[in-house]
Amino acid sequence: MTPMISKSALTQCASLLLITASKTSSSSSIHAFVISPNLPTATRPAFHPATQRPSPLKAKKTRKQKEAATARRLRKSAAGLPAVKKVDRPKHVAQDAPPAARSDDDDAAAVTSRAAELVKLQKRSVQVLTAVKDSVSGLDGESVRSALSASGYCVVDNFLEDAVLTGEMEAEAASLYRSPEASSFSTVSIGSGIYASSVEGGEERYAASPRLVEYVVSLTRHLVPILNAGGGTLREGVQRNSLRVYDRAAKKSALEAIVGESVDGKKFAEVGGTAGFVSEEQKTEGVGVAVLYYMVPEGWEKWEEEEGVYHGGGKVQILGEDGKVLKSISPVRDRLVLIRGDVRHVEDGWVGQNDHALISGCFVVQFMNN
């Protein structure tokens, strides 16, 4: 049996032989060669021995390389593309929810409410027509006709005796003057500050001034027969009216433009009068009687010249044949004045005060002769 020699023993023998050989060599240098046994290296295997998958370090390096390569490709591709602008996305606009469908109950309630409103309006209309009728019927017809025949005028105080109704008529007059349809008002005379417009029927005009319309209708229907009872010749159912308002600011501006200086006080009252309520042209047209109803504020007729305080104004001066004043009639709230169409008369200038910027002056109704 051949004896076994270990690998380390052979290595040692080889080393000794090399050293011995070197001693016998002619070379002066000694070279020693030592053969070392094979040792394991410190390099990591490419694959994990247990899973046979790439090593975590190797895999991490591989991912980084791939990511870097991908980034380089993207940058290279994007370099040749045009710049992309940011586009504003349309905002969502909430839409109103569709109106809820009306039920039969809603429609019925609306009809009932409207019907109740119409009944209320009709009831008030009947009340006004009746109030004017009662006021006319309460006149002493014989005394009125006698005064008109003898003096040419007649004055009736507290005609309606209805503060609410007078207030409604006053408010309607001011509202009409301030409304967009105020262009229908025209100045009675330059510098007077008095503007007039007629009150007419029709659905729209009635809606704007129901009390004024009802007053005219009832007055025309019930007063003319009383005036004709003594043999008068007025045409029944026919009238012509003029609603007059007084604009103090307009008068002041007009007068100052004319005289070139500030106007107030007594001078304010001395100018701006009118030719009255029946013009010469209207006389030829057959105006038989002019009926004035005043809606001026309470105390309008107050006049204190000695204190330099001028209220009111707008007095009606009844003139004689020689032009002298026979009677002065002041505007008084709820006063009715009847003037025969052929009687000479004039109207003084209106004054008022600063708190009387706009006055619903008087409502004039003319009745025509046949």
pLDDT surpasses 80 at 206: yes
Cα–Cα dist 294/363, whole Å: 7
pLDDT tens digits, residue range 291-308?
A: 999 999 988 877 665 555
Cα–Cα dist 228/223, whole Å: 9
Across the chain, what does the average pLDDT equal? 79
pLDDT surpasses 80 at 198: yes
Q: Give residue 25's pLDDT.
A: 45
- Around Cβ 369, how many Cβ atoms within 10 Å? 15
Q: Quick one: fold of 109-369? A: Jelly Rolls (2.60.120)
One-letter amino acid identity for 142? E
Contact by Cβ (8 Å): 273, 190: no
Contact by Cβ (8 Å): 157, 334: yes
Burial grade of 253 (CB within 10 A; 0-12, 13-18, 19 or more) = middle
> Two tokens at 264?
């107030």
pLDDT tens digits, residue range 14-59?
A: 554 444 444 444 444 444 434 444 444 444 444 444 555 555 555 5
Cα–Cα dist 269/258, whole Å: 15
Per-domain residue ranges for the chain?
Answer: 109-369
Check: pTM over 0.75? Answer yes or no.
Answer: no
pLDDT surpasses 80 at 367: yes
Contact by Cβ (8 Å): 155, 335: yes
- Around Cβ 247, how many Cβ atoms within 10 Å? 22
Mean pLDDT calculated for residue range 198-211: 88
Identify the helix (H) or strand (E) that includes residue 314. Answer: none
CA-closest candidate to residue 151, choices 21, 307, 348, 345:
345
pLDDT tens digits, residue range 177-190?
A: 998 766 689 999 98
pLDDT tens digits, residue range 129-149?
A: 999 999 999 999 999 999 999
CA quadruple 358, 239, 234, 142: dihedral positive or negative? negative
Eight-state DSSP code of residue 43:
P
Q: Give residue 92's pLDDT.
A: 54
Cα–Cα dist 320/193, whole Å: 27
Q: Give residue 65's pLDDT.
A: 74
Taking the CA atoms of residue 39, residue 42, residue 44 and residue 49 in that order, the dihedral angle to the nearest 10 degrees is 40
pLDDT surpasses 90 at 265: no
Q: Give residue 162's pLDDT.
A: 96
Is residue 275 very low, low, confident or very high in pLDDT (cuts 50, 70, 90)? very high
Mean pLDDT calculated for residue range 221-242: 94
Mean pLDDT calculated for residue range 232-241: 94
Taking the CA atoms of residue 246, residue 249, residue 253 and residue 255 in that order, the dihedral angle to the nearest 10 degrees is 40
Is residue 80 very low, low, confident or very high in pLDDT (cuts 50, 70, 90)? low
Eight-state DSSP code of residue 233:
-
